[in-house]
Amino acid sequence: MAQSGSAPALGAGCRRFESSRPDHADFFMKKLNGWLCFDKPEGVSSNFAMAKVRKIFGTRETGYVGTLDPFATGVLPIAVGEARKFIRFIEESVKMYVFTAIFGATTDTLDKDGNITETCQHIPAEKEISENLRHFIGEIEQIPPVFSAIKIGGKRACDRVRRGETVEIPPRRVKISDFRMLRADLEKNEATFEVTCSQGTYIRSLARDFAEKSGSLAYVKSLRRTKSGFFSISDTISLEKLQEMKDTTESVSVLAPVESPLDDIPALRLGSEDIGRLRNGLRFFAENSDAASMYVRIVDKAEDTFCGIGFVSEDGLLRPVRMCVNN
């Protein structure tokens, strides 16, 4: 990041906001609303990465979807401003990862940053790996790593382990939609996979369990999230590029609209008067709507603008759930 007094590079066609403008900070605090498809770098926590973005945009109003381990990289959707209100509606979206596993050893953290705790001689052959992939398609049960942020007794499992406590994490059910091997270099005891899975899937646990099925041990050498629902790796922006855009109009252009990842929710178009009632917390029966027992996107039919999320009950009663501020 540029030091005080230096000027970060500008992209073509960008202009800089004059730092002497009294409303410079207010501009970013009030106007930035949307989603940043961020490419989280290796070696930092998701929260630390978000803090970097927060500082660049000059706002405290941020949140992210789907924690990535410090050693992992890739798609980390960051909600800015009003977008934070809608994190809950996309948290369960499907995720896609590419990871490389090292066979023949395991670590206490199940990844490359841990200490090796066990080794074995058996390295599965490429054919054996391909045949065992099918056993992990569909709903499976997995036990998350003890080095994880899952809370046990109100405290993070990883923190308890570091204090020397014995931690037992109950198994959970997750869904694997697709699991395939992309390439193998078994002379180096490694293979690279692509997996499409549900929220809550731990790739480190998947690598451990897959190796066990193959009569071996494994830990994750590298992990990159390539998709998180609406957000794809091809749309990400790096920390370095974002820093170059700091204090320019270009920084605003990298934000996707608040409603972008909500397209799978049916739209309900209403007049401004009804939208005002929802913003005031009122409920009313939704006329001319086929929606029942579902969430709906509230759209201003005159302005064709997204205004929030509501819920239509079985009897047609519409109530507000999360509404955008009326600017």
Catalytic machinery residues: 69
How many CA atoms within 13 Å lie on the side-chain side of 186?
11
Which helix (H) or strand (E) element contains residue 299? strand 294-300
Beta carbons of 311 and 295 less than 8 angstroms apart: yes
Closest CA to 204 of 224, 220, 228, 225: 220
Contact criterion met (CB below 8 Å) for 110 and 221: no
Judged by DSSP in three states, 312 sits in strand
> Helix, strand or coil for residue 272?
helix
Rounded Cα distance between 4 and 1, Å, is 9
Specify the DSSP class assigned to residue 143. P
Strand partners, 296: 310
